[in-house]
Structures are given as structure tokens and as C-alpha cells.
């Protein structure tokens, strides 16, 4: 339900079959003839908030917004950034950006879309008085204040109908990559009159629009049809998309097998062993931008200083990632070799020190014994997790692996609800290690590193702090060249691999499938199918 | 009679107050901040969190929250869910579906359970009785998620007799399989209860008298034995109706029924106080009415039981 | 009923054949007739009693002394390379998904599952009898208060209760807490069934007779009404024993069950769900253990019910 709560699954063997079928037809050209009026049905979940881009931070609503709206840029199947509404995004210093949009842009009701729409929407989302869940996405813009209401950010200026400028608080090389995230989508002027009503029946500028004023049948489905006023790179090849809302992945999978659903973007754990044989070449299992780990907070006894470093490395080497991803996940996870994801530009599986992520029982025992020499181990090692989602099976497997190698007592520590788990983690009251997962919001290495490990960052739940790492990260963030930036980020990761604030486990693959009547199904970097490309006969 | 019914309806008031209070307290007692869960693995700005708390009155003490909610009800306002949908709209949307499903399940388990139980009781110790015991045991020892999963796989996917999940609007034909699965939970209880009751009734004097009067078995069994055996069975089935309404969490999840069980479970896990309390309030009302009807039924099933005093 | 009512059988013998004096005579020297003693005498003559008693005894021994039955540690040395593996050597039932020994987990899980079943059953039965008996027998305002209290408890979804109880007592997630979570909101069903039966029984002639003889109300309830109304309670109780063990599995499935370090059949059943299609054996063994245990208790309940019912006894 929640965006980062359920990792969807899958593996590094790029599902050759799926890509071979769909890959030959990437882009907007189609080789398979489809009925251009056919509506495809896809799985979804009831949005947890009204459908307002600045107030939606979970996948259920997020993937609907991606169909309803077009941002300045979008991400193609490979995760590369393509202009959508934007004509050009330019900067000299990575701090002040000039954004030009294409002329003649319209919302689905015919209203003109101008630079002002972007500036108004961003001001709305950033304004503390509006309590938008995505407020923090605007905190990089000059003039942002998280506490006090600010009507208009000093960093946003409309130049003319098709041009506006953005001034950031500090240089940020990956700002253009971020702009494809849903928080930055433009709202029409009438939305601001009554945001609550707008959220139930939103008007967007994307490839699809609501089929009718009452298209959203709460908890059941949402019908979208093609929006003819859209003229970007994501032109729909079908007649529409119907999101069927499911509360369990099992139900959605049964519907796919039963022929009641065309496209599924997440296979349930109970079908990991069977879905490739159930679906044949219609099964999808490829890496995605989801990184999973467990974090050992620095305040945990025995896990700080030199002793801590030894124990962290020992634990990491005691986990047989290959076996667990193979047996427990049936190959729907890919063992981690860094702190990011293979689908992100700049990812590397040969970082200096990545050996610590390889199963090595002898070395693990040796390091653990060295740590014992500093201060003898006592107690048991526990990994906290929320038991309202299917984490128990892998936590148990990881615990057993540690137990078998190091000969210490290890087990899972379940929390009944996600809310309770997160409260213990963010309140720093948790007294064990705990599971951590990260699904990237935009395809950039920085998004995997800064929020999680920078000193004092918002999601640095383990309270990791390293001046060296912070400095290295900053070098990457301010580099104007992407390649250079990625080199700096890799060096930052080298530090992480020595300190192991979190123990990387694996990358979740996207596991999905589709029915016999649809073709051209491709999954994007964010584990979502590119709905607009799908054709149905 | 009318006085009795009125008295019973009046008793609903303290029950409702007691239940809503208890539930609100339980939701409140659940550890963890429901708003934090809205942000996934990402921590929100503290200032933003603070304002959200104010918005949902979560910064108020428990008792204030409770009375704010109660005050709202008197204005017909059941509160709003985190998604901004009025709770009353959610109630109207989900209850009809679940009541339909629960009634279907009740009919299935009642007819099936009573029939099998009756035959078992009349043929105590025979092959049919033993087979019925084995069937009951299977249903008792398999959890509902296993039964639902297997039923969906066999009938929905492999045989293709029914739709795998319930389609929008929850039409009756789609609800048949979930209703059967739901009925299986208490199927065994009803078989055993009917059987025990039938065995007991069979030995009562009026049944012997009926036989001695020369009445046929075809008349004695339904009129004398069955009718007099039904009191515990009807009582149990009625308590079960409540279980079917909210206890359908797992079944509704697997068959994707947009009903009460699924919605309520999500609301519980997400800590959505007003939604949970409103659902349970409606539940209590239904439950009280069903129990009243059952109490009135007793007089019909056994004329010696009289309520009007 | 083997009598054919259509042929003319004498139901009332001619006077000369019925020596009334002999029938009406009271043998003062005979041992006092007592419901419970009579029942015991009846029970011990029945093979079904001994069979079910033997199974229950065996289950109890397994629960108290698991190491008599298996030397394999249930939770240590679980190797993923054995995941869902078949039987080998000392691992007679094969392995779970985590590569632990199925048989050993089954044996070591017995005490937890049996405890959950028994504690829940005792809890619901005691509360159910107390509330049901008083409400049904005394009626009036007491009935109203007790029945409505039951309504309040019954309206609370037990999943909510379980989440709250398991969270509040998260430091003590043990057998007692989970039994409390399952049992505290389940007793009104027993209470209502008993109440209904009592409403019926209290109208019987023998109750009227006892009342006419001046026996106190409470004694009538205890001696006459309760024993004659207990049959449906026994049925509900024996089955709810199994239902409670399964409820523990469902709670595990929903993530509010016992921690995995506590072995139980419910935990294993819940864990097996994920592999239903590939390795059904991991589900079947704990379910089978559960079935046999529940069967023993149902049979025992059956025997007790028959023994308590004088009319059923007289028939033989």
C-alpha cells in the first residue's frame, strides 16, 4: 500500500523473454496491431489520499497520477530522462535553472497550460499552510520554510507564458532528473478553488483522463480513457486503462490467471515458485530500483567503534544472500553488491570493498572472534520488522544464516503494524537492528544515498554520521557533469562499505505478468508497466 | 410484545455508548503513530507531522477525541478517512455488499449444516454420521486462508466455473464461491450442534408420543424433532452472523470483495479511529437487531418460552 | 427408534401384568444415585471413551516431554539447502521452507498449540456458562445486563482486539496473551447458546416439580437445569478447542500471532501457506496433528454428553 512498504519483487537475469517480446517495440512505434479503442485492465490499490500530485506519496495513487498528468520530463523504459512538457531545462551553475515549456500545451478540459501553472502548483505544494504530504520535495527551492506559511517561493519566477526560472538553495546536479516525480506535476487554475473536490475528479494534462466525473469507484476501480489533448512522448496506444483495486496481491494474481486482468505489476510471494511456469513468456522478472537492507543503529551495544565495524562486517559475511534469494525468493531478488540499484545509471557491481557483501563463513567467524577480543558478545541479535507484510520469511532465513555461521542466538522481532514499527524506528526507541528498504523516487544514485546516510538526513534512521562520507556526497551533488558526479558517489559508497551503517541484502526485482490478449508490455525503471505503450487485441 | 421490543431497542443506547467507547479506546491504545505510516520508509518533516496531527485531532487527549467524534455523529458526521472520503460514504458502499455475502453464507451453512446434522443425528453411529464427522474435522483443522486459496485455485482458475475474484458491484453470482468458503468456518459447528440437539430431542416424551400416535416419520422429523432441535442452532447461527460481517477479512481479501471485513481490517491496521468506530457501531446495531429477532423466534420454535410478562 | 408405530404394540400393559407395588417400592438400601457418578459408570463401559482418553493422554505426554519423541533440535541447524526437502534418515517427515525438521517442530509445537486450545476453551466455557446460565435462568434485568454485556464484547472484531492486545503486551507475546486475545471476545457465543437452551429447559416438568417441592432457585439451576442444558455447550466447546488452535494460525497469517521462535502448529500452518502449491506436505502434517487432537476431544465430548443424558443412557 505504502510506497516503500511493499517491495515488489524480482531478478538480475533480465527477463530476456519479456524484453525480447516487448523490447523490439519500445518507444511509441508499435509492431503489433492492436485495437486502439480497447481498454486494458491493470492492478492497483485504492489511493490513500485524494488524487492531488503534491499530496500523493504512495504507489496506489502515484501510478494513477502518472497516467493522468505529464510533468516537465518523464522516464522512458530504460530510466533515461525525456522531455515531456518541457522544451528545455538549462543551467550554468546547477543552482539556477531556466525551464522552457512547449507552447500550446493544454489540460484535458481545454484550458491552456502555461509556466504559471507550474509555479502556482509548486508554491501551493511548498506552502506549509496547505499541509501537503510531498511538501519536502520543494525544500530545495530558495525561500522554502517548513514551519511558516510562505505564499510564493522567492526561488520561483515566471518569465513569460512558456518560461520560468528556479533558484535552488544550493547547487544540485540531479535537479532535472527529479522533475519527473509526481510531486512536480502541474495543476490547472480551477484546482485551487476547491482542492478537495478536485482530488476526487482531477483534470490533468497526461496521456489519460477520467472516463467520467464518477470514474473513481472507491475501493473497486478507476476508469481512465485517452486524453486527446496530450501530445507528448507518451501517446496512448490503447483506448484507456482501468485500474482494478486489490487489497491482496494473491487476488490480483488469481485474476490474471483467470483472465480477468490484463497486466499485473506485482506477483504475490505464494506464486514466486510458479509464476514463470504459469505465465511462460508472459512473466516478467527484472531488476528494479528497490534496495533492501537491515540497519544496525549506532547506539546499539557492541556496534560502535572498531568493535562495531568488525561485527557489522562479520554479520554481512555470515548471510548467504545467493541461497536466500534463490530458495526463499525463488530468484525474484538479486543479491546486493552496493547501496543503490542496478537499474540506476552509474551503478557498479565492482566497488572497492564489495567483498564484504559476499558469503564468507570463515572470514565472518574470524572477524567476530576479533570483535569478541575487544569486548565479549552477549545477548542475542534481533532484526525488527513489521509483520503485517510478508517480511517474516526472509528475516527468519537471515537470522538462521547468522545463527548457523556465528553460533550466536539470532531471531526476528516482529511489530504487528507498520505504524508501530515506524514509530519505534523514527523515535529511536528500537533496541534491535531493523529492516530498511528504499524505493527510489527518481532514477539517480544520490536518491539512494543522501536521504539515508547523510548526517542528520530525514531517513537516516540508524543515526549514521561520517564527515568523510558527507564531504564525498557533497562533491557528487555539486558536480555539473553526470559521469563525474557518479564517480564521486561511488567513492562515497566505498566509505559506506567499510562502515556498513546498514547491511545491504538484495535488490527487489519487479515481478509481473500479462494476459494473452495484450502485447508491448514493458516495465519502467520504477517497476511500473508503461501503460501507454500496451496494445490489446 | 411491543413493550418487550421497545425495551430491547432502548437497551441499544448504553450498548452503543459502551462499544464505541471501548473501540475508540482500543484504537487509541494501539502503539505507533498512524500518520508516520503515511510516509512509508521515509520520515516526514516534524512540522508537517505536527500540522497533520492537528488536522485529525490526534494531538488531543483520548477523551476529547472521543467526544469530538461522538458530537459529530449527532450531526450525521461520521468523520473522514485519511483519504478524504467521508466515513458515511464508506459505510454505504461496503455494508450492502457484506450483508449480501453474509446472508448467502448464512443460508448455505444453515441449510447444509442443519441437513447434514439432522441425518447424522437420526443415523447416529452409522456410516453417514462418521463421514460427516470426517468432513467437519477437515473444515475445523484447515484455516480459512487455506480453504479460500484452494477453492479459488480449483474452481476459479483450473475449472473456470466462477470468476476468480468478485467484479465491480459485487453481483450475486460472483459471491457464491466466497459465500461457500465463508460458510465453511462454522459449517462444522452447525453440523455438530444440530446432531447433538436432534439426538436429545429424539428421546423426549412428545416425540415418543408422536410415534405412538402412529404419525409417520416424514411428519415427525420436520415438525417435532427438527423444530424442537433448532433453538441452539438458530442461536449459534445468529451469533455467527456477526462473525460473518466483520470476520470476513481473509475471505474478502482473497476474493477481493469490496466489503466491510477488508475495509475494516485496513482501517484497523492503519489506525483510522473514526472509520473503525463507525463500522463497529453499525455492526452493533445489526447485531442487536439480529439477537432480538432470534429471541422472538424462540417463542415460535418452542411455545413454552414466553417473553411477554 | 425401531418400533414400528403402525403395528399395534401394547404401550400400556394390562393391569394384571403390572405389579404396581413392586414398581412403586423404594429400595432404601441402594447406593445414592448421583448424576456424575452415574455418568462415570456409564462412560467407562464405552470403548470410545478409552480410545479418546488414550489419544488425549498421548498428546499431553508429547506436550510435556517432547524430547522423548525426537532428538532433533527444532529450531537450530535449519539449513536452507534442505528447504522443503523430503524425508531423510532421522528427519522422518522432511523439512520446512526454512530447512527445519518438520517432525521435531510438530512435536515441540504441541505444548503451545494444546495450551492455546485449552486455555481459550476453559476461558470461553467458564465465562460463557456464568453469563449464559444466569441470564437464561433468572431472566429480567439480570438477563438484560448480562446479555448486553455479551453483545458489547461480541461486536468487537477479534482482529482489532488481537492487534491491540498483542501490541500492548508486545514484550510478553506468549501463549497466555494470545489465548486471552482469542478467548476474551469469543465467550458470548457459548453464553447465548446456553442461555437459549436454559430458556427451553427451565419450562420442563421436572423443573416445575422441583420448584413445587420448594427446592431453592440456585439449587434447581445447578442440579436440574444446567446438567440438562449442557449438551450444546459441550458441542461448541469441543469444536472451539480446534477453532482456537486454528485462530492462532490465522493471527499468525495476519501478522499478529506468536513470534516464530515459539513453535506452534498454527505458526507452521501459517508459514506453509506460501508454498501451498509447491510443498503441500508442510501444511498437511501440522493440520493432521490438529485434526487428530480435535477428533479426540470431540469424541470425548460425545461420550460425556451421552453419559450426562439419562434418557440416552436408559435407551441402552
The pLDDT tens digits of the residues spanning C93-133 come to 888 888 888 888 899 989 999 999 999 999 999 999 999 99
* Interchain proximity A419–B271, CB inside 8 Å: yes
Question: Domain residue spans in chain A?
Answer: 287-509
Angstrom CA distances, A38 to A236, A246, B208, stand at 11, 22, 70
CA C12 from centroid of its chain's CA atoms = 42
pTM reported for the whole predicted model: 0.83
Neighbours of chain C (3+ CB pairs under 8 A): A, B
Which of C160, C267, C299 to mutate to test binding with chain B, by most B CBs within 10 Å of its CB?
A: C160
Does position A26 have pLDDT exceeding 60, yes or no?
Answer: no
Does position A8 have pLDDT exceeding 50, yes or no?
Answer: no
Does position B198 have pLDDT exceeding 50, yes or no?
Answer: yes
Give the whole-angstrom CA distance, residue A240 versus residue A534: 10
3-state SS assignment for residue C231: helix
pLDDT score recorded for residue A72: 95
3-state SS assignment for residue A426: helix
Does position A493 have pLDDT exceeding 90, yes or no?
Answer: yes
Instruction: Give me the half-sphere count of Cα atoms (radius 13 Å) on the Cβ side of residue A405.
Output: 26
pLDDT score recorded for residue A318: 95
pLDDT score recorded for residue B306: 65
Ramachandran region of residue C264, left (φ > 0), alpha (ψ -120 to 50) or beta? beta
From the number of C-beta atoms within 10 Å of its C-beta (0-12, 13-18, 19+), residue B205 rates as exposed
Average pLDDT of A341-352?
88
From the number of C-beta atoms within 10 Å of its C-beta (0-12, 13-18, 19+), residue C311 rates as middle
Q: Does B121 lie at the interface with A, CB-CB under 8 angstroms?
A: no
Which of C149, C151, C234, C264 to mutate to test binding with chain B, by most B CBs within 10 Å of its CB?
A: C151
Residue C221: all three cell numbers together: 439451576
Task: Note the helical H segments in chain C.
Answer: 20-24, 35-43, 47-64, 102-138, 140-155, 158-168, 175-183, 187-201, 205-212, 217-219, 226-253, 265-272, 281-308, 310-315
pLDDT score recorded for residue A3: 35
pLDDT score recorded for residue A515: 93
Axis-axis angle for helices B62-74, B2-29 (nearest 10): 140
DSSP state of B147: H
- Rounded to a whole number of angstroms, the distance from the CA of C80 to the nearest CA of chain A is 7
Residues of chain B in contact with residue A295, where contact means CB-CB under 8 angstroms, are none
Kindly identify which residue of chain C lies nearest to residue A268, measuring between CA atoms: C274
Give the whole-angstrom CA distance, residue B79 versus residue B71: 10
Average pLDDT of B21-45?
78
Percentages helix, strand, coil for chain B, rounded to the nearest 5? 75, 0, 25
User: A395-407: per-residue pLDDT in tens?
Assistant: 999 999 999 999 9
pLDDT score recorded for residue C22: 61
pLDDT score recorded for residue C272: 83
Identify whether the C-beta of residue A238 lies closer than 8 Å to the C-beta of residue A38: yes
Identify whether the C-beta of residue A210 lies closer than 8 Å to the C-beta of residue A223: yes
Average pLDDT of C155-179?
78
Quick one: what percent of chain A has pLDDT higher than 90? 59
pLDDT score recorded for residue C17: 61
User: A269-299: per-residue pLDDT in tens?
Assistant: 888 988 999 999 999 999 889 999 999 999 8
Tell me what the pLDDT averaged over chain B comes to.
Answer: 82
Give the whole-angstrom CA distance, residue A499 versus residue A503: 10
Pick from C36-40, C141-145, C267-271, C310-314: least confident: C310-314
DSSP state of A334: E
Which is higher by pLDDT, A141 or C30? A141
Identify whether the C-beta of residue A319 lies closer than 8 Å to the C-beta of residue A458: no
From the number of C-beta atoms within 10 Å of its C-beta (0-12, 13-18, 19+), residue B146 rates as buried
User: A152-177: per-residue pLDDT in tens?
Assistant: 999 999 999 999 999 999 888 889 98
Average pLDDT of A175-194?
92
Residue A88 has φ and ψ, to the nearest 5°, of: -155, 150
Tell me what the pLDDT averaged over chain C comes to.
Answer: 81
Instruction: Give me the half-sphere count of Cα atoms (radius 13 Å) on the Cβ side of residue B245.
Output: 25
Average pLDDT of C154-180?
79
Hey, which residues 159-198 in chain C have their CB within 8 Å of chain B?
159-161, 163-164, 167-168, 170, 188-189, 192-193, 195-197
* Interchain proximity B141–C246, CB inside 8 Å: yes
Does position A39 have pLDDT exceeding 80, yes or no?
Answer: yes
Confidence of residue A31 (pLDDT cuts 50, 70, 90): very low
Q: Does C284 lie at the interface with B, CB-CB under 8 angstroms?
A: no
Instruction: Give me the half-sphere count of Cα atoms (radius 13 Å) on the Cβ side of residue A51.
Output: 25
Characterize the bridge pairing of strands A283-295 and A433-439: antiparallel
Domains of chain B (ranges plus CATH)? 87-265 (1.10.3720.10)
pLDDT score recorded for residue B19: 84
Identify whether the C-beta of residue A172 lies closer than 8 Å to the C-beta of residue A34: no
Quick one: what percent of chain B has pLDDT higher than 70? 98
User: B152-193: per-residue pLDDT in tens?
Assistant: 888 888 888 888 888 777 788 888 899 999 888 788 888 988
Give the whole-angstrom CA distance, residue C65 versus residue B61: 50
Give the residue from A394, A399, A386, A499 showing the smallest Cα distance to A452.
Answer: A499
Residues of chain C in contact with residue B288, where contact means CB-CB under 8 angstroms, are 151
Does position A23 have pLDDT exceeding 60, yes or no?
Answer: no
pLDDT score recorded for residue C19: 60
User: A75-94: per-residue pLDDT in tens?
Assistant: 988 888 999 999 999 998 88
Hey, which residues 195-214 in chain C have their CB within 8 Å of chain B?
195-197, 199-200, 203
Task: Note the helical H segments in B168-254.
Answer: 172-202, 205-212, 217-219, 227-246, 249-254
pLDDT score recorded for residue C302: 82
Identify whether the C-beta of residue A325 lies closer than 8 Å to the C-beta of residue A333: yes
Give the whole-angstrom CA distance, residue A345 versus residue A508: 17
pLDDT score recorded for residue C248: 83
Residue A72: all three cell numbers together: 516537465
pLDDT score recorded for residue C32: 60
pLDDT score recorded for residue A5: 32
Give the whole-angstrom CA distance, residue B190 versus residue C291: 18
pLDDT score recorded for residue A159: 94
Which CATH class, in words, describes the domain spanning A287-509?
Answer: alpha beta
DSSP state of A77: T
pLDDT score recorded for residue C30: 59
pLDDT score recorded for residue A235: 92
Residues of chain B in contact with residue C193, where contact means CB-CB under 8 angstroms, are 193, 232, 235-236, 239
* Interchain proximity A459–B43, CB inside 8 Å: yes
pLDDT score recorded for residue A111: 92
Q: Does B33 lie at the interface with A, CB-CB under 8 angstroms?
A: yes
Average pLDDT of C280-297?
86
Pick from A16-30, A304-318, B60-74, B101-115: least confident: A16-30
Does position B149 have pLDDT exceeding 50, yes or no?
Answer: yes
Vertex A394: Cα angle to A393 and A400 (nearest 5): 95
Pick from A3-12, A26-35, A46-55, C64-73: least confident: A3-12
pLDDT score recorded for residue A74: 93
pLDDT score recorded for residue C26: 61
Provide the 10 A C-beta neighbour count for residue A255.
26
pLDDT score recorded for residue C2: 44
Amino acid at each position: 500500500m505504502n510506497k516503500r512498504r511493499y517491495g515488489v519483487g524480482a531478478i538480475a537475469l533480465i527477463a530476456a523473454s519479456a524484453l525480447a517480446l516487448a523490447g523490439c517495440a519500445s518507444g511509441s512505434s508499435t509492431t503489433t496491431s492492436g485495437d486502439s479503442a480497447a481498454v486494458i485492465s491493470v492492478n492497483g490499490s485504492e489511493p490513500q489520499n485524494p488524487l492531488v500530485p503534491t499530496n500523493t506519496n504512495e504507489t496506489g495513487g502515484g501510478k494513477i497520477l502518472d497516467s493522468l498528468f505529464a510533468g516537465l520530463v518523464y522516464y522512458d523504459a530504460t530510466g533515461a530522462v525525456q522531455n515531456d512538457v518541457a522544451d528545455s531545462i538549462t543551467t550554468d551553475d546547477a543552482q539556477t535553472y531556466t525551464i522552457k515549456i512547449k507552447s500550446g500545451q493544454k489540460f484535458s478540459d481545454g484550458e491552456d497550460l502555461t509556466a504559471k501553472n507550474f509555479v502556482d502548483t509548486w508554491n501551493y505544494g511548498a506552502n506549509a499552510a496547505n499541509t501537503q504530504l510531498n511538501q519536502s520535495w520543494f525544500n530545495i527551492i530558495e525561500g522554502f520554510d517548513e514551519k511558516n506559511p510562505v505564499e510564493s517561493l522567492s526561488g520561483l519566477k515566471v518569465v513569460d507564458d512558456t518560461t520560468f526560472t528556479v533558484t535552488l538553495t544550493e547547487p544540485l546536479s540531479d535537479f532535472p532528473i527529479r522533475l519527473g516525480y509526481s510531486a512536480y506535476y502541474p495543476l490547472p487554475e480551477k484546482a485551487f478553488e476547491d482542492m478537495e473536490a478536485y482530488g476526487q475528479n482531477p483534470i490533468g494534462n497526461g496521456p489519460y483522463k477520467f472516463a467520467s466525473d464518477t470514474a473513481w469507484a472507491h475501493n473497486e476501480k478507476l476508469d481512465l480513457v485517452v486524453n486527446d489533448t496530450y501530445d507528448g512522448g507518451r501517446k496512448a496506444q490503447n483506448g484507456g486503462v482501468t485500474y482494478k483495486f486489490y487489497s491482496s496481491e494473491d487476488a490480483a494474481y488469481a485474476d490474471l490467471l483467470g483472465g480477468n486482468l490484463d497486466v499485473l505489476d506485482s506477483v504475490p510471494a505464494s506464486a514466486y515458485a510458479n509464476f514463470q511456469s504459469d505465465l511462460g513468456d508472459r512473466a516478467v522478472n527484472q531488476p528494479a530500483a528497490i534496495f533492501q537492507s537491515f540497519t544496525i543503529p549506532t547506539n546499539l551495544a557492541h556496534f560502535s567503534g572498531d568493535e562495531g565495524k568488525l561485527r557489522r562486517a562479520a554479520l554481512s559475511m555470515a548471510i548467504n544472500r545467493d541461497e536466500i534469494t534463490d530458495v526463499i525468493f525463488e530468484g525474484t531478488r538479486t543479491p546486493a553488491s552496493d547501496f543503490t540499484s542496478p537499474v540506476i545509471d552509474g551503478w557498479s557491481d565492482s566497488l572497492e570493498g564489495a567483498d564484504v557483501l559476499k558469503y564468507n563463513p570463515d572470514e565472518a567467524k574470524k572477524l567476530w572472534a576479533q570483535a569478541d577480543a575487544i569486548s565479549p558478545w552477549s545477548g542475542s541479535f534481533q532484526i525488527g520488522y513489521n509483520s503485517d507484510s510478508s517480511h517474516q520469511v526472509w528475516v527468519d532465513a537471515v537470522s538462521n544464516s547468522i545463527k548457523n555461521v556465528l553460533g550466536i542466538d539470532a531471531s526476528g522481532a516482529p511489530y504487528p503494524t507498520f505504524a508501530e514499527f515506524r514509530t519505534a524506528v523514527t523515535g529511536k526507541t528500537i533496541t534491535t537492528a531493523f529492516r530498511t528498504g528504499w524505493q527510489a523516487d527518481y532514477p539517480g544514485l544520490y536518491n539512494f544515498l543522501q536521504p539515508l546516510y547523510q548526517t542528520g538526513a530525514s531517513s537516516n534512521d540508524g543515526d549514521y554520521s561520517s564527515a568523510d562520507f558527507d564531504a564525498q556526497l557533497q562533491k557528487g551533488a555539486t558536480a555539473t557533469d553526470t559521469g563525474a558526479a557518479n564517480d564521486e558517489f561511488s567513492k562515497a559508497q566505498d566509505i559506506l562499505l567499510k562502515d556498513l551503517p546498514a547491511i545491504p541484502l538484495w535488490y527487489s526485482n519487479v515481478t509481473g505478468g500479462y494476459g494473452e490478449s495484450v502485447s508491448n508490455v514493458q516495465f519502467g525503471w520504477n517497476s511500473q508497466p508503461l501503460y501507454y505503450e500496451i496494445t490489446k487485441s | 410484545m411491543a413493550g418487550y421490543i421497545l425495551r430491547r431497542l432502548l437497551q441499544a443506547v448504553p450498548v452503543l455508548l459502551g462499544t464505541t467507547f471501548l473501540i475508540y479506546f482500543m484504537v487509541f491504545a494501539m502503539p505507533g503513530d498512524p500518520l508516520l505510516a503515511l510516509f512509508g520508509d521515509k520520515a516526514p518533516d516534524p512540522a508537517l507531522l505536527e500540522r497533520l496531527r492537528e488536522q485529525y485531532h490526534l494531538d488531543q487527549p483520548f477523551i476529547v477525541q472521543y467526544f469530538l467524534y461522538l458530537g459529530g455523529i449527532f450531526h450525521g458526521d461520521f468523520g473522514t478517512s485519511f483519504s478524504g472520503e467521508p466515513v458515511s460514504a464508506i459505510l454505504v458502499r461496503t455494508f450492502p455488499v457484506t450483508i449480501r455475502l453474509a446472508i448467502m453464507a448464512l443460508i448455505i451453512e444453515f441449510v447444509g449444516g442443519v441437513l447434514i446434522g439432522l441425518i447424522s443425528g437420526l443415523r447416529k453411529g452409522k456410516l453417514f454420521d462418521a463421514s460427516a464427522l470426517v468432513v467437519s474435522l477437515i473444515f475445523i483443522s484447515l484455516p480459512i486462508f487455506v480453504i479460500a486459496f484452494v477453492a479459488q485455485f480449483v474452481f476459479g482458475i483450473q475449472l473456470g466455473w466462477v470468476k476468480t475474484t468478485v467484479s465491480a458491484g459485487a453481483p450475486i453470482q460472483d459471491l457464491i464461491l466466497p459465500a461457500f468458503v465463508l460458510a465453511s468456518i462454522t459449517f462444522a459447528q452447525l453440523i455438530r450442534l444440530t446432531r447433538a440437539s436432534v439426538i436429545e430431542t429424539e428421546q423426549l416424551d412428545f416425540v415418543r408420543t408422536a410415534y405412538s400416535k402412529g404419525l409417520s416419520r416424514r411428519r415427525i422429523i420436520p415438525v417435532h424433532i427438527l423444530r424442537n432441535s433448532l433453538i441452539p442452532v438458530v442461536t449459534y447461527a445468529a451469533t455467527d452472523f456477526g462473525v460473518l460481517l466483520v470476520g470476513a477479512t481473509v475471505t474478502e481479501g482473497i476474493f477481493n470483495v469490496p466489503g466491510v471485513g477488508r475495509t475494516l481490517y485496513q482501517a484497523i491496521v492503519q489506525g483510522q479511529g473514526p472509520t473503525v468506530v463507525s463500522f463497529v457501531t453499525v455492526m452493533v446495531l445489526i447485531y442487536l437487531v439480529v439477537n432480538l429477532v432470534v429471541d422472538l423466534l424462540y417463542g415460535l420454535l418452542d411455545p413454552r418460552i414466553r417473553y411477554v410478562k | 427408534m425401531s418400533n414400528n408405530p403402525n403395528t399395534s404394540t401394547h404401550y400400556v400393559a394390562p393391569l394384571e401384568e403390572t405389579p404396581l407395588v413392586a414398581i412403586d417400592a423404594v429400595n432404601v438400601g441402594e447406593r445414592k444415585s448421583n448424576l456424575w457418578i452415574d455418568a462415570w459408570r456409564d462412560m467407562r463401559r464405552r470403548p470410545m471413551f478409552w480410545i479418546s482418553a488414550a489419544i488425549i493422554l498421548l498428546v499431553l505426554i508429547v506436550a510435556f516431554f517432547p524430547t522423548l519423541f525426537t532428538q532433533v533440535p527444532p529450531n537450530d541447524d535449519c539449513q536452507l539447502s534442505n528447504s522443503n526437502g523430503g524425508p531423510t534418515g532421522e528427519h522422518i517427515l522432511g523439512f520446512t521452507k526454512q530447512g527445519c525438521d518438520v517432525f521435531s517442530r510438530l512435536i515441540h509445537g504441541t505444548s503451545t498449540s494444546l495450551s492455546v486450545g485449552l486455555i481459550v476453551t476453559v476461558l470461553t466455557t467458564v465465562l460463557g456458562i456464568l453469563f449464559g446460565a444466569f441470564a437464561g435462568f433468572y431472566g429480567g434485568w439480570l438477563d438484560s445486563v448480562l446479555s448486553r454485556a455479551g453483545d458489547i464484547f461480541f461486536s468487537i472484531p477479534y482482529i482489532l482486539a488481537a492487534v491491540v492486545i498483542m501490541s500492548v503486551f508486545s514484550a510478553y507475546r506468549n501463549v497466555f496473551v494470545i489465548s486471552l486475545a482469542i478467548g476474551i471476545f469469543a465467550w458470548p457465543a457459548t453464553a447465548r447458546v446456553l442461555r437459549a437452551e436454559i430458556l427451553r429447559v427451565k419450562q420442563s416438568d421436572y423443573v416445575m416439580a422441583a420448584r413445587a417441592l420448594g427446592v431453592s432457585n440456585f439449587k434447581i439451576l445447578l442440579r436440574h437445569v444446567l446438567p440438562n442444558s449442557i449438551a450444546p455447550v459441550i458441542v461448541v466447546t469441543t469444536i472451539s478447542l480446534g477453532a482456537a488452535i486454528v485462530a492462532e494460525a490465522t493471527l499468525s497469517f495476519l501478522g499478529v500471532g506468536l513470534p516464530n521462535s515459539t513453535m506452534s502448529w498454527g505458526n507452521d500452518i501459517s508459514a506453509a501457506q506460501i508454498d501451498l502449491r509447491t510443498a503441500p506436505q508442510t501444511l498437511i502434517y501440522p493440520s493432521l496433528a490438529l485434526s487428530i487432537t480435535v477428533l479426540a476431544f470431540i469424541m470425548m465430548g460425545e461420550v460425556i454428553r451421552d453419559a450426562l443424558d439419562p434418557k440416552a443412557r436408559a435407551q441402552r
